[in-house]
Amino acid sequence: MSPISSMKILTFTSLFPNRARPDFGTFIYQRAAHLAARQGNHLQVVAPIPYFPSWLRMKRWSAFSDIPAEETVGTLTVSHPRYPLLPMLMPMHGLLIFLGCFPGVRRLHQRFGFDCIDAHYVYPDGFAAVLLGKALRIPVVVSARGTDINVFPDFHTIRPQIRWALLQSSGVIAVSAALKDKMIEIGVPADQISVIGNGVEIERFYGIDRREARRSLGIPEHARVALSVGSLVPVKSHNRLISAMAEIADRYHNLLLYIVGEGPERSRLEADVRSRGLENRIFLLGNRPNQELGLWFNAADISCLASSREGWPNVVSESIACGTPVVATRVGGVPEIITSPELGIMVEPNAHALAQGLEMALGRNWDRETLLRTAGRRTWAVVAEEVDRFIASRL
């Protein structure tokens, strides 16, 4: 594909892989890396992180002190300016990020002469990016990704900052039509917003023999396997999935559920599994390396997403790319991914509906080749072309 334009782009986001968290924000890395790879483009990444003194050892925050001021992530050069973090003053976060990043971003701009800022996550990152853009007279395109629009506008001290950042930007990208609709409700003109969903890393997520995947992971070859990938946080609603599993367990004696992810809900979910006597049927695996997830999707008969809200859930696309159908709640961008009944089953966000969806999926013969073909249509290269075209149109 020929380039739409040649641009010098500053990608600005705190959601980006780093030395301490190599799997953090990989979807943003993929979009940025493929945008940079388009002929004529030059892209630098600024991924601000909170300042934390190295001598003060606290498990939650101390890893930040080990992240260098600059590092190479994949094919991209990433700068990590520090900013003061005041956890109890969330309405100040956008301003604090701007103040912490401005000197370094100004030096980069003097060196490269950026045409635009490509900011991800509306608040606080997008708000800080718009301030940077105004200070340096650079247009800013902001990408909305989920919680930044689904949740944060409900905070009366943050909503005005979100609205200001969106209205002052040169353009807005929403990863789903559902997010676009919510931004229109906030007051953003529809013609300022382009819907550009995420892509799939087809070099990592592709179909392999299911028996081979199960042997690699130590999963019984003849079991029926359901998989859920997502952080153990309330919004992912793993408790609903456990209830759904309990509802159908007696009818599917060889059905196993594997949950990949970590988070504050672990102890509560483990207690729920024990109370239902399903310790030998439901397994909480914790976090697994991103490069291993393709094996898990290939090993499963069905993957599940029980979330109460979403932006664009990458795990749905990744499952389909591995040839595994999905049972998912009809929230956020899910209907924009499961566009055909040949790809999966959408249900209402409650345990009984999930149980019914699982039974329907387990009782059906899926055409794996159809699933695999679908994934190849939305690669990150396709996404990068759409982003390139939109940014160029807003300069």
Give the domain range for residue 305. 210-375
Assess contact for 138 and 114: CB atoms under 8 A. Answer: yes
76 forms bridges with which residues in the sheet? 73
Residue 294 lies inside a defined structural domain of this protein: yes
CATH of the domain at 273: 3.40.50.2000
Residue 204 lies inside a defined structural domain of this protein: no
Q: What's the CA gap between 204 and 321, in Å, rounded?
A: 9
Mean model confidence pLDDT for the chain? 93
Is pLDDT above 80 for 5?
no
Residues 163 and 281 in one domain: no
Task: Give the closest residue to 9 by CA, choosing from 41, 46, 47, 48.
Answer: 41
Residue 112 lies inside a defined structural domain of this protein: yes
pLDDT tens for 55-78 read 555 555 566 777 899 999 999 999
For 199, residues 6+ apart whose C-beta sits below 8 A from its C-beta are 30, 31, 34, 317, 378, 379, 380, 381, 382, 383
Residue 194 confidence class, pLDDT cut points 50, 70, 90: very high
Task: Taking residues 310-331, report their average pLDDT.
Answer: 96
3-class secondary structure, 261: strand
174 forms bridges with which residues in the sheet? 144, 195
Residues 29 and 72 in one domain: yes
Residues 33 and 178 in one domain: yes
pTM of the model: 0.89
pLDDT value at residue 2: 42
Nearest-5° Cα angle at 238, 235 to 241: 130
pLDDT tens for 97-135 read 999 999 999 999 999 999 999 999 999 999 999 999 999
Residue 265 lies inside a defined structural domain of this protein: yes
Assess contact for 9 and 114: CB atoms under 8 A. Answer: yes
pLDDT value at residue 320: 97
Q: What's the CA gap between 14 and 50, in Å, rounded?
A: 9
Task: Check whether the bond before 335 is cis (ω within 30° of 0).
Answer: no
pLDDT value at residue 51: 82
pLDDT tens for 334-344 read 999 999 999 99
Q: What's the CA gap between 159 and 151, in Å, rounded?
A: 10
| Burial of 148 per CB tally in 10 Å (0-12, 13-18, 19+) | buried
Is pLDDT above 50 for 3?
no
Residues 94 and 223 in one domain: no
Residues 167 and 262 in one domain: no
pLDDT value at residue 393: 94
pLDDT tens for 162-187 read 999 999 999 999 999 999 999 999 99
When mean pLDDT is compared across 86-100, 112-126, 186-200, the lowest value belongs to 86-100
Residue 172 lies inside a defined structural domain of this protein: yes
Residues 257 and 304 in one domain: yes
Task: Give the closest residue to 135 by CA, choosing from 114, 163, 161, 162.
Answer: 114
Residues 248 and 369 in one domain: yes
**pLDDT over 70, % of the chain:** 95
Nearest-5° Cα angle at 12, 6 to 13: 140
Residues 154 and 280 in one domain: no
Q: What's the CA gap between 134 and 113, in Å, rounded?
A: 15
pLDDT tens for 19-38 read 988 989 999 999 999 999 99
**pLDDT over 90, % of the chain:** 85
Residues 318 and 292 in one domain: yes
